Each structure stands twice: as structure tokens, then as C-alpha cells.
Amino acid sequence: MNDRWNAYAAERIVLEPTADGPLSGLEFAAKDVIRVAGHISGAGNPDWLRTHSPSERTAEAISRLLAQGARLRGMTHTDEMMYSLNGQNVHYGTPVNPNAPDRIPGGSSSGSAVAVAAGLADFALGTDTGGSIRVPAAYCGVYGIRPTHGLVPTAGVIPLAPSFDTVGWLARDAQLLHDVGVALLNKTGKRAADAAGAKRNRAEEAADRGEPYGSLLPPA
């Protein structure tokens, strides 16, 4: 892949589909805060990357897309610790907005928006806490959606503000945006992740803060 747009933090990470489905033949990228088993999600910060271990499990959102026939290729850049709407990163450089190279791409799902706008990926996963999909989608001229909070499980996503963090997606056309949504949301048809996924997510959030998981449990 020729990433002249600087969209990718780890472009060689590839996960093959786990089944055939409506997304067969399509490739997607994912923001480098969405965990892949065996890979350290960097969150746009080299100290985070250096001090964390590879993930034990792949995020539920990625697993759902693989089960619908899509192929993951590459993890995309984000603003440092997902904390900006500009798309700039002092450590890894700012992804280039393909539709306005002299303008910022918007963030913090900057790499995902750029990968889609540049045609490097058919669609991409991002996260949106306060505009982090909607802003780069608008800046880069692609479609992006932040669904209802909790509709796509955040199990396996590095948290910023868990009460607001939402997994969403971006695509170049409205039909594909719809099709990806059907694939992501149709598995359970309910608002929150299953109890086991939610429990894993709480444990991972505690580990990210350096806390024992038991500290999140009410006293006996």
C-alpha cells in the first residue's frame, strides 16, 4: 500500500474474514484505538504504545465485520489520546486531507476519514465522543455516522469518556454506509453489548488506568 496520505499507524495489520457475508470483497481500516489481538493499540501516543501490552482479544466491532465477510487492512492514525477535533498529531504527523490537502483533516478519527476519502479502504471504523467521526467526515468529504451510544459495543476500545464513547463508521457513499450499519447492528438488534463483552470492557478500562479490576466492583 502506498500511504502517501499518512492515514495509517500500522498498515500491515491484516485480519481475514471469518465468514462470507454481505460485505465480502470489501476492505476496511480501523482507528488505532480499537483493539486487535496480538497488536498494541497506540492511541496516537508513543508512551502509550511503549507501556502497554498486546491485546488479548479483538474488539467486538471488528469481529462483527469480519463475520460479515469484510477484510481488515490497517490501523489508522488518531489525534493524541483521541483528544482533539483537528486531526493533527505531533508525534506521527497529520494525515493529509485528500479533498483539501492544504486543510486539516479533522479528528480525532483523522486517519479513518483520510483512508476512506483517498480510496485506500472501502470503509473504516472510528470512534466519536464529541464529534470525532462527524468532524473528519465533513472535512474530508465522506459519509460518517455516530450511532446511538452503546448500539455498537465498545468492548475492546480504548476509553476516553465511556459515557460518551461511541463506535461508528465512515464510507464514500451512502449505500455502503447503510450496508455497513446493517452488518454491525443486525447481529443482536439490542442497544448494549452482551454482559460478557461489557465485563471484558470494564476490565480493560481498569487495566488502562492501572487499576485492579476488583476496584470497579461494589463492596461485598
Q: Give the pLDDT confidence score for residue 194 in this predicted structure.
A: 46
Q: Give the pLDDT confidence score for residue 111 in this predicted structure.
A: 98
Question: What is the per-residue DSSP string for 103-163?
Answer: S---SSSHHHHHHHHTTSSSEEEEEESSSTTHHHHHHHT-EEE--STTSS--TTB--S-TT
Total number of residues shown for the chain: 220
Q: Interior CA angle at 93 toward 168 and 29, to 5°?
A: 30
pTM over 0.95: no
- The active-site residue out of 108, 109, 110, 112 is 108
In this predicted structure, the answer to whether residue 215 has a pLDDT above a threshold of 80 is no
Q: What is the mean pLDDT of residues 7-27?
A: 97
In this predicted structure, the answer to whether residue 5 has a pLDDT above a threshold of 70 is yes
Characterize the bridge pairing of strands 27-31 and 123-128: parallel
Confidence grade of residue 218 (pLDDT, cut at 50, 70, 90): very low
Q: Give the pLDDT confidence score for residue 202 in this predicted structure.
A: 61
- The active-site residue out of 41, 55, 63, 132 is 132
Q: Model confidence over 88-134: pLDDT tens digits?
A: 999 999 999 999 999 999 999 999 999 999 999 999 999 999 999 99
Q: Give the pLDDT confidence score for residue 1 in this predicted structure.
A: 64
Q: Give the pLDDT confidence score for residue 141 in this predicted structure.
A: 98
Q: Model confidence over 160-198: pLDDT tens digits?
A: 999 999 999 999 999 999 999 999 997 544 444 444 455
**53: annotated active-site residue:** no
Q: Cell 462470507: give the residue.
A: 20
Pick the CATH number of 8-211 from 3.40.50.920, 3.90.1300.10, 1.10.10.10, 1.20.950.20: 3.90.1300.10
**187: annotated active-site residue:** no
Selection from 137, 130, 194, 129 nearest residue 169 by Cα: 137
- The active-site residue out of 31, 41, 63, 109 is 31
**132: annotated active-site residue:** yes
Question: What are the residues whose beta carbons fall under 8 Å from the beta carbon of 8, sequence distance 6 or more?
Answer: 1, 29, 74, 75, 76, 77, 111, 115, 120
- Picking from 135-139, 163-167, 214-218, which range would have the lowest pLDDT averaged per residue? 214-218
